[in-house]
Structure formats: C-alpha cells, structure tokens
A and B are shown apart, each in its own frame.
Chain A
Amino acid sequence: MSEDLLRITGLSTRFFTDEGQVNAVSDLDATVERGEVFGIVGESGSGKSVTALSIMDLVESPGEITAGSIEYRNADLAADVREDHPEAVDGEFVDLLGVTSSVRRSLRGTAFSMIFQDPESSFNPTLTIGEQIAEAVEVQRRASATPRLSRGVEYSFASLMASTVLGSKKFVTAESRERAIELLELVGIPDPVKRAEEYPHEYSGGMLQRAMIAQALAGEPDVLVADEPTTALDVTIQAQILDLLADLQEETGMTILLITHNLGVIARMCDRVGVMYAGEIVERGTLADVFDDHVHPYTEGLLGSVPDLERVGDRLRPIPGNVPSLLDDEMDDRCYFADRCPKAMDACLDHPPSYDARGEEHAARCVLAEMDYDESRALPEGYFGEGERPAADREAEPHGAEIEPDGAGGTRERGENE
C-alpha cells in the first residue's frame, strides 16, 4: 500500500452549549493513505461532518477540538513550521493541531478543500459563480507566490477599501477568472464562459455541485473532503457527480475523504471505510473487511437495513432504538451501542477500546473482536430501561408492514439507509 497522508489519533471535538457539553467526536482514530478514497459512514448526528470540519479547522464556537492530533504528511510544510513549532513536526508529518490558525488557514484550499452537502446554500447568492471560483484560484496563486507557506494569503482591509477605486487592488485577477472558466469546463459545465457570469440561483443543483467541485479543485489540494456530496441531488445526478469525482481522482491522484450516510456510495467509491457511531469510529478497514467480514453489530445492522431487491416484499430491518444523546451528562461509560445491540453482553458495560479485528488494518470498537458471543453473558431484555427497545420495536412494526412489494414504501422507511 502507499504511504499515509493523514494520521488522525484520538481526535475529540466537543461543543460547549447551554444544554451542556456535547461530545460530537470522541477519541477518533483513522489513517488516510495518499491517493485513496476513504469513506466515513454513519447516521445523522454520528459526528461525520464535525470530523470533516475538524480536519479543515472550521469548527466554530461553541465547538472546540479538545484532544488528539491530526498529522498531515507534507515535507515542505514540515520544513516551514519546524522552526516555530518543533513539537508539532514528526519527520514529514505536521500535527495540524499544534500549529497556529494562520498556518491552518494557509492549508485550506491548497492542502485540503471541501465540498458540501447542499450546493445551493454553499455559494454566496450575490456573487457570480465565476467570481467565487476565481477567489479560490487566487488564494492558490497568491499562496504559491509567497515563499513561506505558513505565511498564508494576506489581503488587508486597506487593500479591500482601495479596491473599490483601484482595479489593481482587487483580490481576484483576470488570470484567476480565466482559470475559473477552465475549471468549470473541466467539471463538465457547458458554455463555461457564459455560465461563469451567472449567479448560483441560475444553476441547477447538479450543476452547482459541479461548480463546487471546480472550486474545490482550484487550489490543487492533496485532500478533497466531500461531505455528503450527493445527498441533496436527484439519483441520476448523484451518479454523474460520483463519476465525476472518480474521474477527477484518477486524473489528479488526489485523496478523497468521502463522508456519507449512503452505503451504496461507499461501496461504489471507497477503498477503505470507517463506520461512525456516536462520535466514534466503531469499525474501520477495507471495503471488503467492513462489508463482508464485519465484527461490530452496528455495522451489521447498518448493512442489514439496506433494502435488497432480492427480498422485495420483506420488511426493512431498521436497527431498533435511536441514536444516543451525545450530551456528556447523558453518556454512560459503556459501549454506546449496547442499548440497541442484539448481542449486548455484560462485557459491554465497559467502554470498549479499539481492537484489532480479523483483517489487516481492520479494527473494531467491540468486544466481539476479541471474544465470541456468549448467550449466558447476555444482558437481560430491557436492561437499559423500559421504553427504549420496546418503543423502537413498536415504531418499526407498523412501518415495516406498510412496505409495498414494489418498494414504494421505501421512501417512507428511509431513515439513514437509502
């Protein structure tokens, strides 16, 4: 296998809200290799997007990265920051949590860029698409013109003021605009010269997502973080966008961190997968490890809840229960999945560490990786309080019964499995 590009160790991101501390991401470990597509899959609220934002350094107050390290392999950056932050540098790796926020900003767009779930709200509605992409190009141009990467792109308030009268002080240059048009062409937008002058509301959802990909590519990033890139799109458009991403990855060799709740997207795109639950990666490994040889009952439940054409007429099998609260006060020190787990045992009352599982680099945060299921140690029915499991069953029953043989009920029963 190729070299590691990102090493995330023990990453914890907390939100300090009025209701209390929310553990959005807890003790997360993951390694992303150069040139691969690494998928993160999980339900809504499992911490996928916060993980992405943590990597981008875009977690906003009241959120905060409280522990861990995100090590990024970049020899140039390591040389740049070694002097100021010797403790953050380890060989070619730089711990991004150990450098200043201006260094982090200098990496946005150039080392990491991101595409978002809802393209329509992710563009500024009052600037043209061309202008917005050109901004991203300009960031990259200015960054490469600056000898020290860590210095980032500077543009002062005075320059901004002057730019209203002096065209030469404008942030975006004509060259960047031209490059923006090339990028639009690259992502398959017809008539890019004209479309660059159009505003976001004049684009369709699929076109906007292409434009966003163009914008993300502007800085020729090492890692493209794609947060639910197809969720807001029609199914046919979803396929086109995934094809586009796959093609671009092949051409540029960039690494993609693909975040989705859609197992179909994972199966289609990814080399390796991390399954997230309650802010943790509960199982990670190659696509084959996770899909065919999984250890964690949550992974099993997730895969089992996908509708299967060969079982038309069957009920969908949702995982009973609800996603747990991530409020620190309400999180017991146990396996967070135990209350919904069909194989919960007494051993699950201790919070499990990440165990090595069967395959190489295959790990699961589940005692079943170390021992077999022992019925005599199973927790009694209703152990986690009345109401939780029975209520979920009640909810699952009538819905399941309604599913039509032609699958029309599928939309009603979607949940997080599409």
Chain B
Amino acid sequence: MSMLKFLLRRTLQGVFVIWGVVTVLFGLRAVSPGDPASLMLGQGATQELVERVREVEGLNEPIYVQYADYLGSLVRGDLGYSWRSEREVEMMVLERVPATIELAVAATVIALLIAVPLGVVSATRRGTASDYGATLFSLLGISTPNFWLGLMLILVLGVWYGIPYPSLSGSGSVPIGVGFVDLPTGRRAVGFGEALMAIVQEGSFGEMGLWLKHITLPAITLGTYFTALITRLTRSGMIDEFGKPYVTATQSKGLPGVLVRYKHVLRNTMIPIITVLGLQMGTLMGGAVITETVFNWPGLGLRLIDALGVRDWPLMQGIILFIAIMFVTINIVVDALYTYLDPQVSVE
C-alpha cells in the first residue's frame, strides 16, 4: 500500500518535472529568432502556405493562448505535426524508440559485463598490475570523448580492418557493404525484435548476426564512459565495503571466500551502483545523440540532430519531451527498486 502511495507521489512529482521541461521548450521556441511558420516550412515556401500554417498552428494567437493550446494538445497525447516531413511527430518519435533503447541497453550490458568483473579484480587485487591496468583503463574511458572514440573505431576497425558498421545504403563513400538504414523509409535493415523472431520462427540466426554486427561498435562507443565509471564505482565501493566490520564477522564464521566476496561484499556494493546506473540513463540518452550521429544509427538522437538541422521545432520538442519522460520514469523505477534491494530503505 505504501509502495502504491510512493509511486503515486513520485509520478506526480515527475509530471511537474515534465511540465517544467515542456514550458522551457515552449519558451525557447518563442524566443528563438525567426518566424516559426517559415522555419517549419523551410526556405522557398510560398507566402500563402506560411499564412495557412500560421492559422492552423494558431501562431496568430497571443502567446499565452498558444501555450495553453500546446499544453492541451500534449495532454491529449498529440505531439504535433512536422510540416517538414509532413508526418505526425508522434509516429516519427515512436518509430525511432526501439533503435535507441536497443543501443542504450546494449551499451549498459557491455558496460556491466566488463566493468563489474574489472572492478572486482581491481578491488580484490589492490596494488597489483591488474589493479593499475583497470584503473588506467577507467581513467582513459572516462576522459575519452564519445565522438572521437566512435570515429576511431570506424577508422581502425571499419576502414582499416574491414569490420562492418552501419551506414546509409547507397552511399558510395562508405566502403563496407551492408547498409543499415533503408533510406527511403528511414527504417533499419533489422531490429532486435525482428532478429529474435527470425530465430524463433525460422531458426535463422543470420538476422541476429547482422544485428550484432551493426550494434557492436556503437554500443562500445556509447558504453565506454559508462564502463569506466562503473569500474571505478565497483572498485571503490568494494574497497569501502571490505573495510566494514561485518566482513570480518562474516569471515569469522569460516565462510568460503567466494561467498564473502560475492554474496556479501559485491552484493552490497551493487546496491548504490544500481542507482547510478539509473541516473546515468539520462547521460546515456545524451551520449546517444552523438553516437547515433557518428554511426548513423537510426535512433531518436539522430532524428533530433536532423530536426535541429532544419529547425523542425515540433519534432525537436517531441523528441526532447519523450527523452524527459523516459528519464523521469527510469528514475522512479530505480527508486522503487532501491527499496526492494536495500531492506534498510523503506518508501517512507
């Protein structure tokens, strides 16, 4: 019951946060230079068309009416219309969500798979060569910019050593064969869901192979900072935890070392790391914009950059709003999870 109350309260708080984001977005659009209708349509639009858009979008109304209209349509779930693409923003956002989520999840999985063992080795063999190696790796990982790492991976593994990465099909400048984005429809060649279905229904692993081939480099690029961060957190968290009296007490029971290290120490170390993981999801989304651009990964980030390039305000607002909602939701989920993981924390 109290859990339900907690979720309700946090959701209400989340709604206020989203409302703030919406307001800032609206304000930015209002103060940005240029006539919104001309911007929406781009250069070369006729005066009549501009007038019609002004009328349809309510741009002739006073600003507070526009704001109220905007909020009203959002509440109804209407994100607006992209005059540039002549499509509903809603669809343009939703169709790109799976690619971004796949990328973010793959980056997180890679990060956890590498970071946790590395952090454990580092903490349990403090002062050895493997510890210094792991520390150096995490220092490099934290200080390497995403876009540079992505470009280097493409250059070294893609161009020099010929491991495929996603590219626009039909783009002649790209040396590697398989195009990932089907340009006319803007869709991907294969998504994780499709690849999974192919295995289940037809027993064909080719699609999954294709998916893995394409996602590996972007996921490594996006996940490197994350990997470095979690390595550090795991290391310092475990070292802290090893210093606590309960570890000595647990050892005094004669428990095998593997249980002391993992069942007790690592488990307790992971509890705060889960929180960081949740909070970092936002950063991951931000990083995805760059990574998606570098790898031409057809996710939300790439669409945001495209929208920015042509000042497609409705689309930009829609994408940013969606990212904000994801961020708030993940945080609520992580907080709820925390009360489950750490018995000392209750929802009160």
Given A122-B245, A124-B246, A135-B259, A114 contacting B252 (CB threshold 8 A): yes
Bound CA–CA A366/B264 (angstroms): 46
Q: Which of B253, B255, B262, B341 contacts A157 (CB 8 A)?
A: B262
User: Chain A residues with Cβ under 8 A from B343's Cβ?
Assistant: 125-126, 199, 201
Bound form: Cα–Cα A154–B255 in Å: 9
Question: Are A126 and B344 interface neighbours, CB within 8 A?
Answer: yes
Nearest A-chain residue to B341, judged by Cβ = A126
Residues of A within 8 A of B262 (CB): 157, 160
- Chain B positions within 8 Å of A219 at CB level: 253-254
Nearest opposing residue in chain B for A221, CB measure:
B254
Question: Is A58's CB within 8 Å of the partner chain B?
Answer: yes
* Cα distance A215–B342 in the bound complex, in angstroms: 22
Q: Which residues of A contact B250 (CB under 8 A)?
A: 124, 132, 135
Q: Is A307 engaged at the interface, CB distance under 8 Å to the other chain?
A: no
Whether B76 is near chain A, meaning CB under 8 Å from some CB there, is no
Number of residues from A at the complex interface, CB < 8 A: 41
Which of A90-98, A100-108, A239-247, A333-341 lies at the interface?
A: A100-108
Q: Which of B250, B252, B254, B262 has the most C-beta atoms of chain A within 10 angstroms of its own C-beta?
A: B254
Tell me whether A123 is interfacial, beta carbon within 8 Å.
yes
Chain A residues whose C-beta falls within 8 Å of the C-beta of B249 in the assembled complex: 114, 116, 122-123, 212
Chain B residues closer than 8 Å to A291, beta-carbon distance: none
Of the candidates A60, A126, A171, A218, which one forms a contact with B271 in the assembled complex, judged by CB atoms under 8 Å apart?
A126
A24 at interface by CB-CB < 8 Å: no
Q: Does A89 sit within 8 A of B, measured CB to CB?
A: no
Q: Which residues of B contact A155 (CB under 8 A)?
A: 256, 258-259
Chain A residues 197-241 with CB under 8 Å of chain B are 199, 201, 212, 215, 218-219
- Contact check, B245 vs A139: say whether CB atoms are below 8 A apart: no
CB-contacts of B267-281 with A (<8 A) = 267-268, 271
Q: Which residues of B contact A156 (CB under 8 A)?
A: 258
In the complex, are the beta carbons of B254 and A127 less than 8 A apart?
no
Select one of B248, B255, B258, B263 contacting A58, CB under 8 A: B248
User: Is A157 a contact partner of B258 (Cβ separation < 8 A)?
Assistant: yes
- Tell whether A113 is near chain B: CB-to-CB under 8 Å: yes
Does A168 reach chain B (CB closer than 8 Å)? Answer: no
Which of A108, A113, A135, A199 has a CB less than 8 Å from the CB of B344? A199
Residues on B with C-beta less than 8 A from A53 are 248
Does A354 make an interface contact (CB < 8 A)?
no
- Distance between Cα atoms of A391 and B258 in the complex (Å): 51
Instruction: From known contacts A127-B264, A199-B343, infer whether A143 and B246 are also in contact, taking CB-CB under 8 Å.
Output: no
- Measured CB to CB, the nearest residue on chain A to B243 is A60
Contact yes or no, B252 A113, CB < 8 A? yes
Q: Are the C-beta atoms of A135 and B258 separated by less than 8 Å? A: no
A sample of 15 inter-chain contacts (CB < 8 A) reads A58-B248, A58-B251, A105-B257, A108-B251, A108-B252, A122-B248, A123-B246, A126-B341, A136-B253, A139-B253, A153-B255, A154-B256, A156-B258, A160-B262, A212-B249
* Interface of A toward B, CB cutoff 8 Å: 53, 56, 58, 60, 105-110, 113-114, 116, 118, 121-127, 132, 135-136, 139-140, 143, 152-157, 160, 171, 199, 201, 212, 215, 218-219
- Sorted nearest first, the 9 A-B pairs with minimum C-beta distance are A109-B254, A108-B254, A122-B249, A136-B253, A155-B256, A114-B252, A121-B245, A199-B343, A139-B254
| Other contacts beyond A121-B244, A135-B255: 20, CB < 8 A | A60-B248, A108-B253, A109-B252, A109-B254, A114-B249, A116-B245, A118-B245, A122-B249, A123-B246, A123-B249, A124-B246, A125-B344, A126-B271, A126-B344, A132-B250, A135-B253, A135-B259, A139-B255, A153-B255, A154-B256
